[in-house]
Amino acid sequence: MINIKRPSETFMKLSKQYGPVFSIQMGGVKMVVLSGYETVKMALIDYADEFAERPHIPMFEDINKGFGVPFSHGENWKTMRRFTLSKLRDFGMGRTTIEDRIVEECGFIVRALESLEGKPVDLTIKTNFAIGNIIISIIFGHRFDYQHPILLRLLGLISENMKLVGSPSIVMYNLFPIFYYVCGSHGRVMQNIKDIHNFLRTEFVERLKELDRDDQRGFIDAFLVKQEEEKLDPNTYFHEMNLMSTVTSLFMAGTETTSSTIRWALAYMIIHPEIQRRVHEEIDRVIGSAQPRIDHRKNMPYTNAVIHETQRFANILPMDLPRETTRDVTFQGYHIPKGTYIVPLLESVLYDETQFERPEAFYPEHFLDSKGAFLKKAAFMPFSAGRRSCPGETLAKMELFLFFTSLMQKFTFHAAPGVTSFQVKPSVGLTSPPSSPKICCRPRS
């Protein structure tokens, strides 16, 4: 009954038959699926406290042991989320300091693509490196060269795990934990996590040798300083496992989703050359040959609309990360017990026909008013909403605008020679990165 490779497709069909709130038994898990903007918004925002927990999912419990931010619980989650948000802001999120780092990284990826002289390329590795370097600079305080073996290895492990944890075999393991004994992907995921943690432990030891509480270089330094301050507290949350899980989550969440969105955007430019032409015209008119900066965004409604429409249409995280009820709740006439597994179907929000005129089409005008000014939409929820919304939303929005405009300023994007029908499809994984042929990045004259 369920499309295990893409369960959201099945849930979308079931919601049309059974309405915006329905339950389904998947293995040993009874899930309540919420669909449509009004229902999901009511749950995540109006009933934020009641839908604020995260269920205990076998694969993620194995990875995080209940620590970190995305899949932790109770006071541990509150403390780590508060600290992480605070330090992301301290190290530049939403400020000029991080904008300068992003602008610098835009220069590196532009030069890397210019060196190809228009030859076909798979942009996955290069966009992962560029976006990965931003989160690395926040965590460590410096970037890596694109050929650096540590960067190659680290981002390779992260990319593989993002695919594996959303694979059918892991989905089956989460529903039927007995599958642990036959799920080969599980062992691969855990080995990758072990390799990431070994690298991080080495990095922590090296940083402790030069740690200066008055000159903190990045997130890790800030955590280690806090750990030292609370070392005599037996109940402290600032210990190695929380550091490991938090940093690993920052890598995974801070790289793959934004990198995938940029690749989706460029693929849509190839599919819709008229939209690409209009973006080029707006960039030429507003920015010219100057370096794109975040201040340009307010004068670029069409480009901003294209980026928002990419996030809506690409639907990177169609089922959100699951929630769990913190107490018994009566919701839209239904009694939902404490501890119920909740699926906020983000795809149903981003494709809600009551909120978007042409939900099944790539249509930037969804985010433009009749005069061509940028139009905010309440149903634009790619970062989720409420207590468990994405803590890196501000950073991701800045990255998307600066990378997209910098690439579009310098290049025109085309299908590779010989490709008569350029098609792009979502890949299987925890997120939905694009699977497409190689593309050509031709320098603009």
What residue numbers bound the domain in which 421 lies? 7-67+74-428
Query: How far apart are the C-alpha atoms of 118 and 418, rounded to whole Å?
Result: 14
- Residue 412 in domain: yes
Phi then psi for residue 54, to 5 deg, are: -120, 135
Q: Which residues contact 445 (CB under 8 A, 6 or more apart)?
A: none
Task: Name the 3-class secondary structure at 33.
Answer: strand
Q: What is the mean pLDDT of each run of 10 residues along the chain (445 residues)?
A: 87 96 91 98 97 95 94 94 90 78 96 94 93 90 86 89 91 85 85 92 81 85 92 94 92 90 97 98 97 97 98 95 97 96 98 97 97 96 94 93 98 91 87 88 91
pLDDT in the model for residue 436: 74
- Residue 305 in domain: yes
The total number of structural domains in the chain stands at 1
Query: How far apart are the C-alpha atoms of 409 and 444, rounded to whole Å?
Result: 8
Query: How far apart are the C-alpha atoms of 340 and 321, rounded to whole Å?
Result: 14
- Residue 435 in domain: no
Query: How far apart are the C-alpha atoms of 188 and 236, rounded to whole Å?
Result: 32
- Residue 308 in domain: yes
pTM here is 0.94
Query: How far apart are the C-alpha atoms of 247 and 158, rounded to whole Å?
Result: 12
pLDDT in the model for residue 94: 62
CB neighbours (10 Å) of residue 50?
22
pLDDT in the model for residue 295: 96
User: Tokens 């369920």 belong to which residue?
Assistant: 2
- Residue 325 in domain: yes
- Residue 246 in domain: yes
CATH number of the domain enclosing 178: 1.10.630.10
- Whether the Cβ atoms of residue 99 and residue 66 lie closer than 8 Å to each other: no
Parallel, antiparallel, or unpaired for β 341-344 and 29-34? parallel
- Residue 445 in domain: no
- Residue 437 in domain: no
What letter represents residue 243's amino acid?
Answer: L
Alpha-carbon distances, residue 153 vs 35, 200, 206, 300 (angstroms):
39, 12, 19, 37
R_g of the chain, CA atoms, integer Å:
22
